[in-house]
Structure 1
């Protein structure tokens, strides 16, 4: 990240989940195009900065970490005194402009309390009076375009909209060592699966992932890598027992940055709707994404090498209050996820341009 710029001081508010964080990159890139001399600071959650490490469009990360039940947090800003101190730190920076990409009332309050004269954001949650420029929020377009609409409303030209992620030489070397340590030869086809989600009720059933993985190995002779976090270890072991030949596990043993480097070397990824799905799209790794309760129109993977499997039901998209809005299947999954068959997934991989490097077996 750069420093000592002499132009405007601009603050961007978009914090919490890693998926939302990576989807903010096109906004920041176009903002930097328009303001090459500005000091751009980005308020993010501490756990989300890793996914955009080495981003060249931002000069400063500012942690905002109140206690929340909706995402991982460390509670740095737990008390009212902590929150007051955070606002005082922002005010001391004398920002000229704040872009409020969060849609909550509280984020607009933070923008107003900074003292910045220009405050641009979505006209949601009756917070318009706290903003100097109010932008309509659309539910019928992708979140990337919603973010870019904030720039457009402020007269900033939007030149492109692609995702990006950055890997260091050390991280790429780690991936190479990981492959070698697990007996994956150079040029050997690799298919990654991320069968987990923050709420497993919205995930495709793990039996389906195991069946798909077994068939993909049979068809292509591909090695399977299972990705997941620390909370996914038990289910990861279950999948290891059900996939033959045994897959490589990267579940709870690799950092986010190391996981990204491994994903970048995969021929294809198969993911639930998750932050890892967005990371995969940003890395430009071919991707098949499985959607059910949430519409891919707003939060689907953003990229040219992405395929989405989605069955829209009359109740789609839902509020994800499982299972108040619909009856669960015998396997305790919503019917929209159960409607995605293993064959559909196999067909999607087969048709995907990214699988052209894999040799189909008889």
Structure 2
């Protein structure tokens, strides 16, 4: 008889993608997986064939939301044999505890010692393994360094999304110019615009509603020179439509962001521009990915001794790590 397991998902798209190898491991050993996820992350789990059911949690960013969590736990009571709590927060461990799920697995963190029955030691942030291995370790299995996330969209879902957006498979390049963490991870908008004008197919700009102005900063000069060449869909698509557009793209150019990891999991050709963060920790796990990071370029002078700083904004005020990655260099990497 299969073990019924509940997985409490992380709240960021990139992190959600990097949990897929854990889903694969759990499902392969006979666990039936139900994932509880926030609405803006849930579509990622619907692109994982190993997941039998996805429950949209009705919670918001921040706050304990005690009554809502108690109500959700009551709905889930007596359904599950095990739970895997992927975030490190106290509130993320409450539902499995309140639902009285017998086996509750997670990392130690934020005063939740009594909420978990199987606790892994949380390594210091500067010693933490790559995120895929960090999440996969919750399976209790070895060989984690071989894991690579894989996503798979239903063909009919992709076809409908492309029709709704007016796109043709392989007939465009996706730009994902945002980075939730901050501007020190964003390749300049002017560089994106210059690159778009040199491509042989139109560009599709994807992002959240908060990134619409940034995307319009790219689209406006492109469309002034080549009308209709840049389609700004930031804030206008569902996540499912955005995933479909990425799955069917000719290639994608992005910063170190959640959509970068989505593209890697679909295996599409991609160029990922890194600045303040490090591809040694969160690379796109895709054999078709080209990573551009001036920190490890011996020909770049003077060396970037300040990188990676992991800051939201450049402490030195120049963001040289991104500004000096030229559109021509990205174009060459796309070839």
Q: Normalising TM by the smaller chain, what interval? A: 0.7 to 0.9
Q: Report if the CA contact (8 A) 1:15-1:43 is conserved.
A: no
* Distance of aligned partners of 1:136 and 1:54 in 2 relative to their CA distance in 1, 3 Å threshold: same
2-side partners of 1:118 and 1:158: how far apart? 22
Shift of 1:157: 7.7
Q: CA deviation at 1:156?
A: 7.6
Partner of 2:134: 146
State whether residues 66 and 78 of structure 1, in contact with CA within 8 Å, keep that contact through their aligned partners in structure 2.
no
Equivalent pair of 2:182/2:312 in contact (CA under 8 Å): no
User: TM-score if structure 2 supplies the norm length?
Assistant: 0.81
Cα separation, 2, equivalents of 1:128 and 1:294: 31
User: Once the 2 structures are TM-superposed, how far is the Cα of residue 14 of structure 1 from its aligned partner?
Assistant: 1.9
How do 1:179-198 and structure 2 match up within 5 A? 181=166, 190-198=172-180
* C-alpha separation in 1, matches of 2:133 and 2:267: 19
- Match of 1:147, SS state, is helix
3-state secondary structure, aligned to 1:149: helix
CA distance in 2, matches of 1:85, 1:172: 35
Taking the aligned partners of 1:119 and 1:106, their CA distance within structure 2 comes to 14
Q: Cα 1:294–1:112, aligned 2, differ >3 Å: closer, same or farther?
A: farther
Please, which of 120, 135, 147 is the counterpart of residue 161 of structure 1?
Answer: 147
SS in 1 for 2:280: helix
- Which of 205, 210, 220 aligns to 1:241? It is 220
Query: Which deviates the most, 249-258 or 265-274?
Result: 249-258
Structure 2 portions without partners, runs of 5+: 296-303
- Structure 1 residue 256 displacement after superposition: 2.2
Residues in 2 aligned to 1:40 and 1:315: alpha-carbon distance in whole angstroms: 43
Tell me, in whole angstroms, the C-alpha distance in 1 between the residues paired with 2:87 and 2:190. Answer: 36
- Determine if the alignment matches structure 1 residue 208 to structure 2 residue 211: no
Q: Distance in 1 between matches of 2:159 and 2:211?
A: 25
The 1:169–1:95 alpha-carbon spacing in structure 2 relative to 1, beyond 3 Å, is closer
* Contact in 2 for aligned 1:192/1:269 (Cα 8 Å): yes
Match in the other structure for 2:299 = none
Question: d(CA) in 2 for partners of 1:283 and 1:192?
Answer: 13
Q: Please give the alpha-carbon distance, in whole angstroms, between the structure 2 residues aligned to 1:81 and 1:57.
A: 31
- Per-residue deviation, residues 123-168 of structure 1 (Å, max 9, x unmatched): 34464554333334454532111111221x2x58869623222323
Contact 2:45–2:51 at 8 Å: present in 1 too?
A: no
Deviations 1:25-59 (A, max 9, x none): 11111110011xx4322121122112232533223
Residue of structure 1 aligned with 2:18, choices 9, 15, 23:
23
Alpha-carbon separation, structure 2, partners of 1:239 and 1:49: 29
1:227 aligns with 2:206: yes
Partners of 2:321 and 2:33 in 1: how far apart? Answer: 41
Give the 3-state SS of the residue equivalent to 1:262 in structure 2.
helix
| DSSP 3-state at the match of 2:40 | helix
Give the unaligned 5+ runs of structure 1: 1-5, 70-76, 351-362
| 8 Å CA contact 1:140, 1:297 repeated in 2 | no
- Aligned residue pairs total 319
Q: Which residue of 2 aligns with 1:284?
A: 267
- The residue number in structure 2 matching 1:93 is 78
Q: Which residue of 1 aligns with 2:52?
A: 59
Maintained 8 Å contact 2:273/2:291 = yes
- Partners of 2:216 and 2:32 lie apart in 1 by 47
Q: Counterpart of 1:298? A: 281
Question: How many angstroms apart in 1 are the aligned matches of 2:247 and 2:161?
Answer: 9
* Counterpart check, 1:307 vs 2:290: yes
Q: Partners in 1 of 2:305 and 2:70 — Cα distance?
A: 45
Aligned-pair distance for 1:342?
Answer: 2.8
- Taking structure 1 as the reference length, the TM-score comes to 0.76
C-alpha RMSD over aligned residues: 3.1
